[in-house]
Amino acid sequence: MTRRMVLLLIITLLAAGEVGVIRSALTAERRPNIIIVLTDDQGYGDVGRHGNPILKTPHLDRLHDESVRFTDFHVSPTCAPTRSAILSGRHDFRNGITHTIFERERMSLQTTTIAQVLRGAGYRTGIFGKWHLGDEPAYRPDRRGFEETFIHGCGGIGQSYVGSCGDAPGNSYFNPVILHNGVFETTSGYCTDVFFKRAIDWIGEVKGRPFLAVITPNAPHTPLDVPAEYEKPYAGKVPPETAKFFGMVQNIDDNLGRLLDMLAAEKLERETLVIFMNDNGGTGGVKVWNAGMRGAKNTPYLGGTRAMSFWRWPGRLVPGQRSRLAGHIDIFPTLAELAGVKLNGALRAQVEGRSLVPLLKSPQAEWADRIFVRHIGRWPRGADPREFKYGPVSVRNQRWQLVNPGRDNSRQWELYDLVADPGQKNDVVTSHPQVVRDLEAAYDRWWEDVQPLLVNEKASPPSANPYHTQYWKQFNGPGPNNIPPGTNLMKLP
């Protein structure tokens, strides 16, 4: 096919409304580089384009405008569960994850990750920032498909809890000690800057082969610590803690701008799919702007699970809005399809999400209704999970959301019509008994189905925190953070 014929074909497809992923003879075999940016505790409302009246995010706004945007995209109510669902294509409970600590944040070793799949298909793979799916060596990302790992431990820099979940002793957001390919490394600068810089450098090193780069800053998660120049623009406009939170988001925004500039400078834009999303409902910014939603992180309402989901691939995806129900479990099969990988056998059985490729191609694509379950989990350590079936949980399809607030682990369903009442102000549970019965029956089946997969509930913690032990062994003394060996830094939450 001549170049002129290819151009005529593209013009014909566009004229016919076939917008989205353009498959011509010149591009049919090209697999995208993939960059996923996943922020920690940023909410759906914490971006200018979603109506935030205070926060300035010019680079995120640009990404929004240049992306396919999923506006009804949902994740888990907390961070480790979401991360496992992205990597596995299945619900977090099926990965054994029912908490963010107590060994219940560890992703089952029986789970295959998208990093393993893409690496097996010839991709270079790297992760930069937060992992939070197990700090013991067998659970770390270098054993789960990532060849380049540049991570902190636990759920946040400097955190350490009773059990295996813990970061390097005495760590902080400035000049953090990072575990780089299994060896602790001292760094210089603010944590988010450090993670993006290493990711950008690595992309420069591996370009030429397809790559998967997962950039996972721990910001804007607490502790709210940020360079003064980022806090200053918000001081006096919002409460002091919110000013710091917004400053952390603006710092992420600047780093996103550097990433996009690098892709342009290296002529990688048209070869690279950039996905931006947040890991759970909002936190530090919800009192300023929550996009009209009820709830926040760690709640079963929309505000606890709705996430940004921007997909940018210049020349392949035509920017626009998608309103169909989608979620984190859909990322695995989508990336596999874009990379030309077919899911067969055990892997097909593992992945319960759907490929988003039809919706990436067209907002009019057929998309059957579906049911999502979101359970907060987080029952007490050592408790029988079956006693917490009616903890905070939601069951929803495209129109309806059945919510149990879980105040005392009893069955107290609420029902919301999300078309008529997206702010979830009017409980209509008594008006639609058949909807309640149908959604509750789906939940009953789901609950029984996941029980055998809750593999971490009786896990025994190690006698010593693995990050601490490795840190003191490597530095043979206090180390760069000047913490004496053997200091007990673990705590109960």
**Tokens 């896990």 found at:** 459
Plot region of 340 (φ>0 → left; ψ -120 to 50 → alpha; else → beta): left
Could you report the per-residue pLDDT of 83-113, keeping only the tens digit for each? Answer: 999 999 999 999 999 999 999 999 999 999 9
* Higher-scoring residue by pLDDT: 73, 24: 73
CA R_g for the chain: 22
pLDDT of 239 over the 80 cut: yes
* Confidence bin at 29 (pLDDT 50/70/90): low
- Confidence grade of residue 12 (pLDDT, cut at 50, 70, 90): very low
The pTM of this model reads 0.93
Given a cut of 60, whether residue 7 has pLDDT beyond it is no
Q: How confident is the model at residue 6 (pLDDT cuts 50, 70, 90)?
A: very low
Instruction: Give the model confidence (pLDDT) of 386-443 as tens digits.
Output: 999 999 999 999 999 999 999 889 999 999 999 999 999 999 999 999 999 999 999 9
> Where do the CATH 3.30.1120.10 domains begin and end in the chain?
372-453
Contact assessment for residue 3 and residue 242, using Cβ atoms and an 8 Å cutoff? no
- Residue ranges matching CATH 3.40.720.10 in the chain: 31-361
CA distances from 134 to 69, 112, 172, 217 (A): 31, 15, 20, 17
Q: Would residue 298 be called left, alpha or beta, if left means φ above 0 and alpha means ψ between -120 and 50 degrees? A: left
Q: Which CATH class is domain 31-361?
A: alpha beta
Q: What percent of the chain has pLDDT over 90?
A: 89
pLDDT score, position 189: 98
Mean pLDDT, residues 40-68 taken together: 98
- Among 464, 455, 414, residue whose Cα is nearest residue 435: 414
Tokens representing residue 393 in the block? 């949980």
167 near 467, Cβ under 8 Å?
A: yes
Nearby residues of 274 by Cβ (< 8 Å), 6 or more positions away: 35, 37, 63, 67, 259, 260, 263, 310, 311, 312, 313
pLDDT tens profile 129-167 = 999 999 999 999 999 999 999 999 999 999 999 899 999
CATH top-level class of 372-453: alpha beta
pLDDT category at 463 given cuts 50, 70, 90 is: confident
pLDDT band at 17 (very low <50, low <70, confident <90, very high): very low
Task: Give the pLDDT band (50/70/90) at residue 22.
Answer: very low
**What integer is the mean pLDDT of 456-463?**
92
Q: What is the pLDDT of residue 25?
A: 25
In the predicted model, what is the mean pLDDT of residues 229-253?
98
Residue 5 in this model has a pLDDT that exceeds 50:
no
Cα angle at 256 between 252 and 259, to 5 degrees?
Answer: 140
CB 440 within 8 A of CB 395: yes
Q: What is the pLDDT of residue 16?
A: 34
Spatial separation of the C-alpha atoms in residues 165 and 136, rounded to whole Å: 8
The 10s digit of each residue's pLDDT in 167-214 is: 999 999 999 999 999 999 999 999 999 999 999 999 999 999 999 999
Number of H helices, E strands in the chain: 13, 16
Q: Comparing 53-67, 425-439, 459-473, which segment has the lowest mean pLDDT?
A: 459-473
